[in-house]
């Protein structure tokens, strides 16, 4: 259970976002992804989840992302900026659906860890932003996946819930899970490793591979 990333390079709309990222995440490890706005944190997480074209090698637990997209994706849980919640459904209906679809983790654990009992029958459109985020993150637990890719997970969470969420990540990793978290704040995890995306360090150095730039034009 290891994530191996080598020479990861991403372009978006022909623009180089970052290049030559090399890192490994071992079982039970949490890695913080740092960098200023626009440095490509979200792009990197999406690339690892197979939702963004990339160059380089991503190998999760022996499966290569470029060869077997499904084989990698079935080990990943992703939480992005959007909560993927349907306002017309209740909190319970939203979470039960994901639990039935993923058939991985325990729904009662998720309810307990994210304190969803009190808002279980509330329609999601009546929930606050923080409550929606809790519901969105509870999906990580019911999905039962090994690698969590989290993009700014603590936005709109209060201090108490943030601390609680840090504890949930610890529990996940203690059970052999892995997590990669893009965030600007200190989650209060015990000295996690950091990967820093520095835009100034990598631009210019990499020659563009755009077919409309390379070659001898008159």
Partner 1 sequence: MSIWEFANPVRFMRLTGKVLPWITVLAIGCLAVGLIWGFFFTPEAINFGSTVKIIYIHVPAATLAINAWVLMFVASLIWLIRRHHVSALVARAAAPVGMTLTLIALITGAIWGGPMWGTYWEWDPRLTSFLVLFVFYLGYMALWEAIDEPDKAADLTAVLTMVGTVFAVISRYAVNFWNQGLHQGASLSLDKEEHVADVYYQPLLLTMAGFFFLFLALVFLRTRTEIRARRIIALQLQEAN
Partner 2 sequence: MNATFAVLTRELRLALRSGGGAGLGLAFFLIVVMLIPFGVGPFPSLLAQIAPGTLWIAALLACLLSLDRLFQADFEDGTLDILALSPMPLEGLVAIKATAHWLTTGLPLVIAAPVLGITLNLPSNAYWWLVISLAVGTPALSFLGAIGAALTVGIRRGGLLLSLLVLPLYIPTLIFGARTVTAAVEGVDVMPAFLLLAGVTLLTLALTPIAAAAALRMHMR
What is the contact surface with partner 1 in residues (CB under 8 A)?
A: 13-16, 203-204, 208, 210-218
**Of the candidates 35, 16, 22, which has an alpha carbon nearest to the alpha carbon of residue 152?**
35
Q: Rounded to an integer, what distance in angstroms lies between the CA atom of residue 55 and that of residue 32?
A: 22
Task: Report the partner that residue 217 touches, choosing among partner 2, partner 1, none (CB closer than 5 to 8 A by kind).
Answer: partner 1
- Residue closer to partner 2, measured from CB, 49 or 166: 49
- Residue closer to partner 1, measured from CB, 42 or 131: 42
Ramachandran area for residue 98 (φ above 0: left; ψ -120 to 50: alpha; else beta): alpha
Q: Rounded to an integer, what distance in angstroms lies between the CA atom of residue 54 and that of residue 11?
A: 7
Distance in Å, CB of 101 to partner 2, minimum: 5
Residue 32 contacts residue 55 (beta carbons within 8 Å): no
Give the chain's radius of gyration (CA, Å).
Answer: 19
Q: Decide: is 55 part of the binding site for partner 2 (CB under 8 A).
A: no
Q: In what order do the strands lie in the sheet with 193-196?
A: 76-79, 147-151, 178-182, 30-34, 193-196
Q: Decide: is 107 part of the binding site for partner 2 (CB under 8 A).
A: no
Task: Report the partner that residue 184 touches, choosing among partner 1, partner 2, none (CB closer than 5 to 8 A by kind).
Answer: none
Q: Decide: is 81 part of the binding site for partner 2 (CB under 8 A).
A: yes
Q: Decide: is 3 part of the binding site for partner 2 (CB under 8 A).
A: no
Specify the stretch interacting with partner 2 by CB under 8 A; choose among 1-9, 20-28, 68-76, 158-166.
68-76
Task: Report the partner that residue 23 touches, choosing among partner 2, partner 1, none (CB closer than 5 to 8 A by kind).
Answer: none
Q: Which two tokens stand for residue 4?
A: 């191996």
Q: Decide: is 73 part of the binding site for partner 2 (CB under 8 A).
A: yes
- Residue closer to partner 2, measured from CB, 85 or 168: 85
Distance in Å, CB of 93 to partner 1, minimum: 33
Cα 5 to Cα 40, 62, 98, 140, 173: the distances in Å are 15, 12, 29, 22, 19
Q: Decide: is 109 part of the binding site for partner 2 (CB under 8 A).
A: no
**Of the candidates 140, 195, 150, which has an alpha carbon nearest to the alpha carbon of residue 49?**
150
Distance in Å, CB of 143 to partner 2, minimum: 8
């Amino acid at each position: 259970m290891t994530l191996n990333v080598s020479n990861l390079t991403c372009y978006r709309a022909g623009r180089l976002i970052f290049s030559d990222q090399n890192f490994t995440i071992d079982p039970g490890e949490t890695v913080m992804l740092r960098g200023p706005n626009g440095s490509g944190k979200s792009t990197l997480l999406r690339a690892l989840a197979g939702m963004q074209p990339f160059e380089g090698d991503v190998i999760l637990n022996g499966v290569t992302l470029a060869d077997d997209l499904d084989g990698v994706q079935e080990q990943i849980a992703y939480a992005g900026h959007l909560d993927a919640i349907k306002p017309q459904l209740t909190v319970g209906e939203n979470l039960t659906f994901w639990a039935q679809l993923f058939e991985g983790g325990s729904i009662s654990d998720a309810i307990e860890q994210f304190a969803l009992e009190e808002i279980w029958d509330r329609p999601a459109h009546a929930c606050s932003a923080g409550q929606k985020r809790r519901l969105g993150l509870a999906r990580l637990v019911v999905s039962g996946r090994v690698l969590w890719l989290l993009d700014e997970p603590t936005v709109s969470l209060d201090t108490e819930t943030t601390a609680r969420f840090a504890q949930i990540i610890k529990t996940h990793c203690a059970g052999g899970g892995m997590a990669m978290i893009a965030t600007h704040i200190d989650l209060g995890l015990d000295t996690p490793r950091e990967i820093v995306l520095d835009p100034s360090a990598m631009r210019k150095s990499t020659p563009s591979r755009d077919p409309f730039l390379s070659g001898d034009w008159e």
